[in-house]
Amino acid sequence: MRSTVIFTASALSLLLIGCLSNPLYLRLSSNYFPIAPSGATWEYSIQGGGSRIITVVDQSIVGERPCWRLQSGADYSYWINEEGKLEHYEDHTVMFNGYEVPIYQAWLTMFQWPLANGMTTRDSISAQAVSQGVTLSHIWIRDQIVSGPEQSPDGLWSECYRVHQEETVINWVQTAGFSPETTLSVRDIWLAPDVGMVAVQSADSLLTLISFTGGGE
Amino acid sequence: MNKGIILILAVTAVLHAGTINVGFDAAGITPVGGWGENLSSGLSGGLYAQWLLSQKLRAGLGIQGALFNDAYNGNASFTQLKPMATVSFYLRPHGRTFNPGIVAGFGYCRSRLSSGGGIDPASWDPFWSAGVRWDFSLGSQWRAGMGFDLESVMASDKTGDAFKFVFGVSREVQL
């Protein structure tokens, strides 16, 4: 009788433990924002019509660092995914009195790995430049919180992390008649293992991945 | 299910034995495969009690813990807790300087990731380990052993494999 009770309790315990399993090692092993190799292509549909294609073009050197160059339409962006973080090269300029004024060029951390539910990060930049005797100041603050794992909004991708981003930008032309202009933008990004961005939702748009090609060296 | 039966058999067998071998070990543990890409090598420690089923064969229970930190300058950490049944076989159980043996463990592993102030849902998965030991006497019924283990957490979709260098100390105790 006693051994039966022990056996039954052990079997139930094992079944219960089995229910608590989740693909944690899969998530740890996966690349949630692959930016290589050349040829990798993501095609997104835009809610309301249209599409957007992002392609890994080649390797390049920007800011004295080797990186991957991605193309979307006529625009290029530069990315590094190493040493536990994904970095994006930002070349920020503003138009002032008909001139393009460079404010800053820097590698900014986009995500830190590994992602985990409840992870929070804050990144910020404060920069200024002088053009035609006027100081142009720029403050950028981004707060991120990660949730998941969960399915993508279209239900096609599992074990996704959802990154909620809130960006605050304060631009100020420091001369008479101008006051600081503050803009706040909010978006959610779903990242799927070994695929990357599968959906991006902001106040006025929704991008959904419709095809992904891994590419080849 | 099989591991549960092994566990129960081991407990039943050892309750009838008169001598147990209790010990602890410490190890350096290195992830094998992509799951450890953002994690550093870790430290592992364990406690175990084994009953001497014969002079050469031992079986018992143990618990191990392991901690991995961020491989870079982040603040991720990964922990494993492994309750398990253990079996070991030694060729020269009373050899003073050379008692080679093999060890194995079966159980469950609780894995937990924290990163950037967030915590992923913990996972319980079947786990096994196997390794070799060079056991030797420290005198006064104390013995030490060193060796290495290969282990694997058989998680959903992907296994979490690791390699360990182990050093342990043990002592026989008469019940």
Across the interface, whether the CB atoms of A116 and B153 are under 8 A apart is answered no
Residue B136 has what pLDDT? 94
Instruction: List, for residues A43-75, the tens digit of each pLDDT value.
Output: 999 998 999 999 999 999 998 999 999 999 999
Return the CATH number of A22-213, one of 3.30.450, 2.20.28, 3.40.50, 2.40.360.
2.40.360
Cα(B111)–Cα(A24) distance, rounded to whole angstroms? 8
Quickly tell me which residue has 């618990």 as its tokens.
B63
Checking if the pLDDT of A93 tops 80, the result is yes
- For CA atoms A60, A61, A67, A69, the dihedral sign is negative
Cα distance between residue A194 and residue A192, in whole Å: 6
A24 touches chain B (CB under 8 A): yes
- Chain A to chain B Cβ contacts (< 8 Å): 123
pLDDT, position A20: 82
Yes or no, beta carbons of B8 and A149 under 8 Å apart: no
pLDDT at position A96 is: 87
Q: Is residue A30 over pLDDT 60?
A: yes
Element holding A4 (H helix, E strand) = helix A2-19
- Is there a contact between A117 and B119 if contact means CB atoms under 8 Å apart? yes
Is residue B155 within 8 Å of B125, Cβ to Cβ? Answer: yes
What are chain B's domains? 2-174 (2.40.160.20)
Tell me if the pTM is above 0.90. Answer: no
Are the Cβ atoms of A116 and B73 closer than 8 angstroms? no
- The answer, yes or no, to whether residue A215 has pLDDT greater than 80, is no
Structural tokens at position A103: 């404010």
pLDDT in tens, chain B (175 residues): 455 555 565 555 555 557 899 999 999 999 999 999 999 999 999 999 999 999 899 999 999 999 999 999 888 999 999 999 999 999 998 888 999 999 999 999 999 999 999 999 999 999 999 999 999 999 888 999 999 999 999 998 899 999 999 999 999 888 7
Look up tokens 């095609």; give the residue.
Answer: A43
Question: What pLDDT, on a 0 to 100 scale, did the predictor assign at position A174?
Answer: 86
Which pLDDT value is given to residue A3? Answer: 58
Task: Count the Cβ atoms, other than its own, within 10 Å of residue A110.
Answer: 21
Q: What's the pLDDT at A89?
A: 96
DSSP label of A203: S
pLDDT at B94: 81
Among residues B49, B46, B47, the alpha carbon closest in space to that of B20 is found at: B49
Chain A neighbors of B115, CB-CB under 8 A = 112-116, 119
Question: How sure is the predictor about A12, in pLDDT bands with cuts at 50, 70 and 90?
Answer: low
pLDDT of residue B139: 87
**A116 in contact with B at a CB cutoff of 8 Å?**
yes
What is the C-alpha to C-alpha distance for residues B78 and B114, in angstroms, rounded to an integer?
6
pLDDT at A108: 94
- Chain B residues within 8 A of A116 when measuring between CB atoms: 76, 113-116, 118-120
Q: What is the pLDDT of residue A4?
A: 62
Predicted local confidence at residue B156, as pLDDT: 85
- The answer to whether residue A15 scores a pLDDT higher than 70 is no
Q: Does residue A217 carry a pLDDT above 60? A: no
The mean pLDDT value for A96-100 works out to 88
Question: Is there a contact between A181 and A27 (Cβ–Cβ < 8 Å)?
Answer: no
Interface residue B160 vs chain A (CB under 8 A): yes
